[in-house]
């Protein structure tokens, strides 16, 4: 599913009923508002493209999303790095459920954020292309899992569900 976000809340778009759990979700953002993009990604979008993306980039992104790969731009890598930092700063000292990046994941995200392609990163770190993709994908998966846990917790705390059903 593609969501054109002209000011609409991209979270609402990604949560559409017709999208099953395995539907690749991409967000095509006009504004590129950073918090919106981050929220969409945490809600399950596998990547985003700015509207200024070329047709080649769009086709490539569609192909990669369909294949289950996250489509990461440098901007998204910067947002994800920032989100892990924010979660770490906010966490209680004894909290164990705060998602964290491994050193390798941090390294890979920083390289994506400074414009290196997966192929260049693989070469630079002597990893396979697939391993680089997995590292990037993991950084998203951990955020999305955490996001779901937080939503459930919020719902329970606010009496939106019966604890026995959760």
Q: Is 96 in the site for other proteins (CB under 8 A)?
A: no
Q: Which two tokens stand for residue 126?
A: 């002597």
Restricted to residues 126-155, the positions that interact with other proteins (CB under 8 A) are: none
Q: How far apart are CA 31 and CA 51, in angstroms?
A: 8
Q: How far apart are CA 56 and CA 72, in angstroms?
A: 15
Total of residues contacting other proteins (CB under 8 A)? 20
Q: Which stretch binds other proteins (CB under 8 A): 10-18, 56-64, 110-118, 156-164?
A: 110-118
Q: 75, exposed or middle or buried, with CB in 10 Å at 0-12, 13-18, 19+?
A: middle
Q: Is 35 in the site for other proteins (CB under 8 A)?
A: yes
Q: Which is nearer to other proteins, 94 or 165 (CB)?
A: 94
Give min distance, CB of 27 to other proteins, in A. Answer: 15
Closest CA to 87 of 136, 160, 44, 149: 149
Q: Which is nearer to other proteins, 3 or 112 (CB)?
A: 112
Sheet with 26-29: strands ordered across = 2-5, 26-29, 48-50
Closest CA to 136 of 53, 84, 82, 80: 80
Give min distance, CB of 38 to other proteins, in A. Answer: 5
Q: Which is nearer to other proteins, 104 or 110 (CB)?
A: 110
Reduced to 3 states (helix: H, G, I; strand: E, B; else coil), residue 34 is helix
Q: Which is nearer to other proteins, 28 or 74 (CB)?
A: 74
Reduced to 3 states (helix: H, G, I; strand: E, B; else coil), residue 141 is helix
Give min distance, CB of 108 to other proteins, in A. Answer: 13
Q: Is 69 in the site for other proteins (CB under 8 A)?
A: no
Among positions 113, 121, 132, 143, the unique one binding other proteins when judged by CB under 8 A: 113
Give the binding site for other proteins (CB under 8 A).
34-35, 38, 73-75, 77-79, 81-83, 85-86, 88-89, 110, 113-115
């Amino acid at each position: 599913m593609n969501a054109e976000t002209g000011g609409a809340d991209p979270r609402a778009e990604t949560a559409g009923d017709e999208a099953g759990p395995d539907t690749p979700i991409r967000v095509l953002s006009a504004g590129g508002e950073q918090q919106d993009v981050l929220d969409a990604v945490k809600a399950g979008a596998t990547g985003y493209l700015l509207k200024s993306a070329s047709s080649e980039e769009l086709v490539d992104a569609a192909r990669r999303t369909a294949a289950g790969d996250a489509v990461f731009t440098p901007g998204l890598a910067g947002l994800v790095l920032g989100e892990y930092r924010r979660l770490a700063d906010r966490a209680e000292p004894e909290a164990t459920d705060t998602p964290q990046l491994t050193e390798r994941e941090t390294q890979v995200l920083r390289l994506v954020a400074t414009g290196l392609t997966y192929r260049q990163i693989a070469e630079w770190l002597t990893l396979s292309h697939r391993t680089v993709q997995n590292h990037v994908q993991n950084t998203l998966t951990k955020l999305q899992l955490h996001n779901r846990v937080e939503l459930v917790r919020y719902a329970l705390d606010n009496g939106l569900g019966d604890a026995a059903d959760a």
